């Protein structure tokens, strides 16, 4: 499986994402600069955290118009797995690949700490290695992680099992405690916590490792079934 880690000006978690794939999965991974216009040669796209374009205007608002995004949107609509973490989640929201928006944390402070999450849906390509309803500890590091959507959208997310992770504590004011959601097809996941920072005992948790293992396992199974 070949992963693309997209690098925007201001990305600062691209190395973390790169090494999480290389060392955790042992799969092929490359950094892809934001000026590229074709990512069809990859099997999955990873949008890392950071401060793309300095978070000017809104977090992710300028990165959404980077040259690489047109190809990402096209491939995502065709079913390519796309994972957006923290700023990557914000970019996916701005690109309208996921519904809703991000606001400043309710206490207007940057939050950086290990955070207990509930696995709300363990039946997605990103979560099959988790147990439904289990608790995992994955760090957060954000100032604009307060997920917002209107009541109708929230109901759609709930009814269609598209809420994947929730915070066990109300750390930032997110609607329904949402920490991660998928699109309707289930091939796009946006989440504020950083699973790439939870892949080793040295980092304090290995709970993020299973997310990447889930991606690899489901990709392999889908390719065996289609061959």
Greatest Cα pair distance in the chain: 51
196 is a catalytic site residue: yes
* CA atoms of 18 and 33, how far apart (whole Å): 13
Q: 44 has which bridge partners?
A: 3
**Which position among 75, 94, 149, 194 bears the catalytic label?**
194
Retrieve residue 95's tokens.
């690109």
Confirm if 212 and 190 have CB atoms less than 8 A apart.
no
Cα–Cα distance for residue pair 181/165, rounded to 1 Å: 7
Q: 13, 86, 94, 144: which one is catalytic? A: 86
The active-site residue, picked from 75, 94, 144, 196, is 196
Active site residues: 86, 194, 196
């Amino acid at each position: 499986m070949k992963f693309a880690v997209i690098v925007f000006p201001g990305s600062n978690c691209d190395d973390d994402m790169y090494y999480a794939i290389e060392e955790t999965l042992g799969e092929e991974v490359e950094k892809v600069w934001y000026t590229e216009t074709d990512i069809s040669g990859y099997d999955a796209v990873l949008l890392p955290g950071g401060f793309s374009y300095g978070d000017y205007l809104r977090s992710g608002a300028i990165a959404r118009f980077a040259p690489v995004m047109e190809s990402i949107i096209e491939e995502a609509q065709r079913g390519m797995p796309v994972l957006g973490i923290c700023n990557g989640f914000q970019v996916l929201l701005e690109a309208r690949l996921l519904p809703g928006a991000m606001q400043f944390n309710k206490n207007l402070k940057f939050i950086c700490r290990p955070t207990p999450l509930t696995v709300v849906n363990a039946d997605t390509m990103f979560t099959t290695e988790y147990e439904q309803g289990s608790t995992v500890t994955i760090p957060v590091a954000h100032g604009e992680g307060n997920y917002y959507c209107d009541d109708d959208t929230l109901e759609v997310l709930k009814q269609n099992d598209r809420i994947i992770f929730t915070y066990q504590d109300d750390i930032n004011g997110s609607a329904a405690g949402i920490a991660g959601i998928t699109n309707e097809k289930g091939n796009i996941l946006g989440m504020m916590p950083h699973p790439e920072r939870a892949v080793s005992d040295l980092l304090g948790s290995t709970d993020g490792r299973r997310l990447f293992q889930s991606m690899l396992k489901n990709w392999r199974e889908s390719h065996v079934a289609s061959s």
